[in-house]
Amino acid sequence: MSETKGSNTREEILGQTAVWEKVLQDVLGREERIRDFFHREPLDEVVFIGCGSTYYLSLCAAATFQSLTGTSARALPSSEVFLFPQASLSKGKNTLLVAISRSGETTETLLAARKFEETCGRNVLAITCYEDSALATQYPDALVVTAAKERSVAQTRSFASMLLTAQLCAGIAGGQADYCEQLKALPGHGERLIAEQHRFIKELGENERLAKFVFLGSGPNYGLACEAMLKMKEMSLSPSEAFHFLEFRHGPKSAVDEKTLVVGLLSDSARDYEIALLKEMRALGAKTLVLAEREVKEGADYAIPLNAGLPELARGVLYILPLQLLAYYRALARGLDPDVPLHLDAVVKLKMEEAGG
Ligand code: F1P
């Protein structure tokens, strides 16, 4: 239990750019080893796995990896891999499994990695925050982001730091030196964003006229939209959903009303389509918050311009940081403690009979 409500989460969100800095140093310091790891033999595909936040991280990481390397990449929840291996793993292909878990102890992720080894051979890269965890000790090539360990249940700085780790790996594997260079600007932009937007986000989180939240993202931003949805749900217990932008017209928009905040994580590639959808949601009565590289006026009741001068594949952690803060203030406004979400444990460990042990 924290000393004052949400003090751990607050510190973990607001202090996270120092951890990003450390990630950049550590991962780029191991660039050669990482390049060798990805190029040991030609890869047919890369599968990213995780649970909850780390599954959503995997969605973003897979989209980024495929875009930067040209190698086929996809993301799966860990449970799907060990429960339905025939539907999720490809025998006979040279596949690399990237297993992501803050704790490194989530049973589903450990079982999925084991099932993958039995089916596809021993080609696992782990990304975790705990050096003594089962995942880190079982897979010695593991990238361990120890500075991102957290006291809170809901993942905030660990999510962003492990995402940055996965993005750096994608940049290194794809030989995209410019991309890795661009990522170095993120800690500075994160600090600036906090200074510019903190007050506005607090007010928005405390706005009682908003009762439901929808997070929309396309391409690499879809996983980020899902993570923002999860943060809002875990910390503030508010009704919260995530969709691919254009999917939202295919049914879900029927639930939009004047108490709905539709949050758009704008891409560059699909920007015009995304803005058109936001305009439509405003016409239906929703309020909209638009996060984009440059300030967007069209279709936006509220806007958070990132002004980072970074391409869409590099901006991920800048989208997620303000949305973590939004969930935090929403939780406080509802009298909840963001450090201890209702019913949740920091690590999900399945009982022996469920885990087949
Ligand atoms: C995954 C996770 C968290 C979530 C919850 C339960 O943990 O789903 O994302 O916040 O507390 O566990 P991990 O495998 O990344 O440690």
Same domain, 169 and 209: no
Are 164 and 208 within one domain?
Answer: no
Pick left, alpha or beta for residue 249 (phi over 0 → left; psi -120 to 50 → alpha; otherwise beta).
Answer: alpha
The last residue of a domain, from among 183, 208, 241: 183
| Assigned domain for 357 exists | no
Q: Are residues 290 and 251 in the same domain?
A: yes
- Cα angle for residues 337, 341, 344 (degrees, 5° grid): 155
Tell me if 191 is assigned to some domain: yes
Closest CA to 113 of 128, 132, 131: 128
Residue 356 is assigned to a structural domain of this protein: no
Considering the domain architecture, whether residues 81 and 148 belong to the same structural domain is answered as yes
- DSSP states along 279-300: HHHHHTT-EEEEEESS---TT-
Phi/psi region, residue 59 (left: phi>0; alpha: psi -120 to 50; beta: rest), is: alpha
Q: Are residues 21 and 167 in the same domain?
A: yes
Residue 238 lies inside a defined structural domain of this protein: yes
Enclosing H/E stretch for 224: helix 221-236
> What distances in angstroms separate CA 60 from CA 19, 166, 238, one per listed residue?
20, 9, 24
Ligand 1 atom closest to 78 (CA): 14
Q: Which of 8, 9, 150, 347 to mutate to test the pocket of ligand 1 (most atoms within 8 A of CB)?
A: 347
Considering the domain architecture, whether residues 16 and 159 belong to the same structural domain is answered as: yes
**With a cut of 70, which residues of the chain have pLDDT below it?**
1-3, 352-357
Phi, psi angle pair for 123, to nearest 5°: -135, 70
Q: How many domains does the chain have?
A: 2
pTM > 0.85: yes or no? yes
Residue 355 placed within a domain:
no
**β pairing state of 260-265 and 240-243:** unpaired
- E strands within 118-269? 124-128, 143-144, 212-217, 240-243, 260-265
Same domain, 118 and 74: yes
- Residues constituting the chain: 357
Strand partners, 124: 97
- Decide if 156 is inside a domain: yes
**Residues 65/58, Cβ–Cβ less than 8 Å:** no
Centroid of ligand 1 to alpha carbon of 152 (angstroms): 11
Tokens of 65: 């990896």
Q: Please tell me whether residues 156 and 34 are part of one structural domain.
A: yes
The mean of the pLDDT values for the chain is 95
| Cβ neighbours, 10 Å, residue 90 | 14
Name residue 289's beta-bridge partners.
263, 302
Three-state DSSP at 191 gives helix
Our mutation pick for probing the ligand 1 site, out of 343, 348, 350, counting the most ligand atoms within 8 A of Cβ, is 348
176 and 194 together in one domain: no
253 near 281, Cβ under 8 Å?
A: yes
Residues 33 and 93 in one domain: yes
Other C-beta atoms lying within 10 Å of the C-beta of residue 15: 12
In 3-state terms, what secondary structure has residue 155?
A: coil
Model pLDDT, residue 121: 83
Q: Are residue 287 and residue 233 in the same domain, yes or no?
A: yes
CATH number assigned to the domain comprising residue 245: 3.40.50.10490
Is residue 346 one of the residues assigned to a domain? no
The 3-state DSSP class for residue 313 equals helix
| Distance from the alpha carbon of residue 344 to the mean position of ligand 1, in angstroms | 9
CB 313, CB 320: distance < 8 Å: no
**Can you list the alpha helix ranges (DSSP code H) found in 284-351?**
316-333
Residue with CA closest to ligand 1 atom 12: 347
Is there a single domain that holds both residue 194 and residue 324?
Answer: yes
Residue 153 domain-assigned? yes
CA of 36 to the centre of ligand 1 (A): 30
Query: Nearest-5° angle of CA 18, CA 326, CA 171?
Result: 45
d(CA 154, CA 305): 26
Q: Find the domain containing 80 and state its range.
A: 7-183
- Per DSSP, the three-state class of 118 is helix
| Domain end residue (candidates: 183, 213, 236) | 183
Nearest C-alpha neighbor of 186 from the set 24, 13, 9, 15? 24
